[in-house]
Amino acid sequence: MSDLAEADLYSRLSHDGLWLKSGPLSLHIRSDEPVVSEAIAALYPDHALADADFADFHVRVGRAEGLRRWIRPQVLFHLDGRTPFKPLPRAQSFAMLEWGINWCIATYCHQYLVIHAGVIERNGFAAILPAPPGSGKSTLTAALIQRGWRLCSDELTLLDPATAQVIALARPVNLKNKSIDVIRAFEPGTVFGPECPDTHKGRVAHLRPPRESVLRVGEGATPRWVIFPQWAAGVPLTTKAIPRAEAFIELAENAFNYSMLGETGFETLAKTIDACDCMSLRYSDLDEAVAAFERLAEDARQ
């Protein structure tokens, strides 16, 4: 991707489209919104181009028709010939593309058990971080991948039913509001895409995935921990073991297709949980949290 000049990237996106690899998936992306091109140039420099013959998803972010084409323009997300979502203001084009791709994976990729959770890897072992929005899951993921953990995904944990291994996507990390400033302060060298000021989620920006995470995206990871993070101001770091049965139910509730997969979903989740230590983690300070993850990784090596 980084071999593409920015002008070439824009011309591809606005004409025949960009064919991009993200882990096991090939994406064919079209958009003539300059902000999409700018964000892709900033956030996907290390991703491989995909062959232009087969794509898992053909997606496009384009201007909505009608009056709104000219007055306060809006954009629509297209999957094949359909537009599954309401239009959004044009400034949110790239955010809409990222959300849309997540939606495609969560809605169609039932070859995997798909869990709404961040997932990172160290020494071949994966930590799954399921949590409701606002729990600091993405912030924690963003911090850990600056400190030696490999990013598999910040939103979607894909588990392969055949092997119970984590399949990585290595797409940009979506951060909101204060988290953006927290991560900028935590690691000044991080690269962000263009910031989007006022989505209905608040301020949104995407973080470029570390180069190594992208290059190693094809490597699987063995689930080793299920950690439910909870950020709270001013609290000391505490971890608490969670019974496996409880973690199982929590993970199942955070899965997009657990019941859809029936027995396969149960078997996959059971294999995953059996191999994992399950705990909750309350923290206020990112450095402390990173150190706690470091200790977990050290213990697992022995």
Instruction: Find the shortest distance in angstroms from Cβ 212 to another protein.
Output: 26
Instruction: Find the shortest distance in angstroms from Cβ 83 to another protein.
Output: 8
Q: Is 29 helix (H, G, I), strand (E, B) or coil?
A: strand
175, 142 Cβ separation under 8 angstroms: yes
Instruction: Find the shortest distance in angstroms from Cβ 81 to another protein.
Output: 4
Closest CA to 208 of 154, 260, 127, 244: 154
Q: Is the four-CA dihedral 104, 107, 113, 116 of positive or negative sign?
A: positive
Rounded to whole angstroms, the Cα distance separating 125 from 120 reads 8
- In the list 10, 44, 94, 99, the residue contacting another protein (rule: CB under 8 A) is 99
H-only helix segments in 147-275: 178-186, 211-215, 244-254, 263-274
The alpha carbons of the chain give a radius of gyration, in whole angstroms, of: 19
Rounded to whole angstroms, the Cα distance separating 179 from 67 reads 36
Integer angstrom CA distances of residue 140 from 23, 107, 134, 149 = 22, 26, 11, 11
- In the list 3, 7, 70, 86, the residue contacting another protein (rule: CB under 8 A) is 86
Residues in region 3-22 near another protein by CB under 8 A:
none
- In the list 4, 46, 58, 230, the residue contacting another protein (rule: CB under 8 A) is 58
Question: What is the number of alpha carbons within 13 Å of residue 280 lying toward its C-beta?
Answer: 13
Size of the site for another protein (CB under 8 A): 41
- In the list 48, 106, 182, 275, the residue contacting another protein (rule: CB under 8 A) is 106
- In the list 14, 111, 239, 284, the residue contacting another protein (rule: CB under 8 A) is 111
Burial of 171 (0-12, 13-18, 19+ CB in 10 A): buried
**31 touches another protein (CB under 8 A):** no
Residues in region 114-133 near another protein by CB under 8 A:
116
Closest CA to 205 of 117, 62, 87, 98: 98
| Residue 112: both structure tokens together | 């995997």
Residues in region 233-272 near another protein by CB under 8 A:
253-257, 259-262, 264
- In the list 83, 146, 230, 284, the residue contacting another protein (rule: CB under 8 A) is 83
**100 touches another protein (CB under 8 A):** yes
Closest to another protein by CB, 3 vs 263, is 263
Span of 78-86, 146-154, 282-290, 294-302 interacting with another protein by CB under 8 A:
78-86
Closest CA to 102 of 9, 47, 159, 25: 25
Closest to another protein by CB, 103 vs 186, is 103
- In the list 4, 46, 73, 103, the residue contacting another protein (rule: CB under 8 A) is 103
Instruction: Find the shortest distance in angstroms from Cβ 41 to another protein.
Output: 22
Contacting positions for another protein (CB under 8 A) = 24, 26, 51, 53-56, 58, 77, 80-86, 88, 96, 99-100, 102-103, 106, 108-111, 116, 155, 200-201, 253-257, 259-262, 264
